[in-house]
Structure 1
């Protein structure tokens, strides 16, 4: 199996107001997010790629226009956890690139959430 990945960045605020008031994530705060999309294929295309990295530019555009410097509570219909972001980006990517195998989202340098079916 061949695997490729590409990393994207954005900054946004959110608040997990469903948590207890004394939980740090219940307060309004922000993160510098990292999103990594992974594509996989048993075969390479005629150019020798799983998919040309340039073809992933629509994800950068989507992130820049919808997520960057936004309040995620206003963007998502589910709690704005890293887990839910990973699933959201996975579904968005899979609808465009069937080779999408996983999406990882980082809120901090030491934390990652991944959605992989």
Structure 2
């Protein structure tokens, strides 16, 4: 079974590899919506896959490194596309959260990406 927990974080960024004429090459901010999915068996003892409080306890310290930050200054996010943010998060969460199966990031109401590792 797969369960998920949602989070949000605010960050500023610019995409330096785009031409100056592209809107995203300029400094801008996003309210990102993050959905972290965990897959595993339903534990008979509790009746759940994982305690959502445990998911939050493992995700929130990682988000603290990018929430209300200028992403271009975060090591590993020098080109902070939504795709690269998803990979960056996966690399940090996959060692902290057993059963991590998917990360979804939305940069606004209509665009985002889903990353399943690898």
Pair in the same fold by TM > 0.5: yes
- Structure 1 runs not aligned, ≥5 long: none
Structure whose residues are more often strand by fraction: 1
Using the TM superposition, give the Cα deviation of residue 40 of structure 1 relative to its aligned residue in structure 2, in angstroms. Answer: 0.7
- The runs of 4+ residues in structure 1 deviating greater than 2 Å are none
Structure-2 separation of matches of 1:76 and 1:8: 22
Structure-1 separation of matches of 2:106 and 2:72: 17
2:80 pairs with 1:80: yes
The within-5 A match list for 1:24-103 is: 24-41=23-40, 43-45=41-43, 46-58=45-57, 59-63=59-63, 65-78=64-77, 79-103=79-103
**Post-superposition CA distance 1:61-99 (Å, at most 9, x none):** 331x21111100011424101111111212222111221
Alignment TM-score, normalising by the size of structure 2: 0.89
> What SS is found at the alignment partner of 1:10?
strand
- Superposed CA RMSD in Å reads 1.3
Structure-1 separation of matches of 2:9 and 2:97: 21
Structure whose residues are more often helix by fraction: 1
- Structure 2 runs not aligned, ≥5 long: none
Alignment TM-score, normalising by the size of structure 1: 0.90
Task: Determine the structure 1 residue equivalent to 2:112.
Answer: 112
The answer to which of 15-24 and 73-82 deviates more is: 73-82
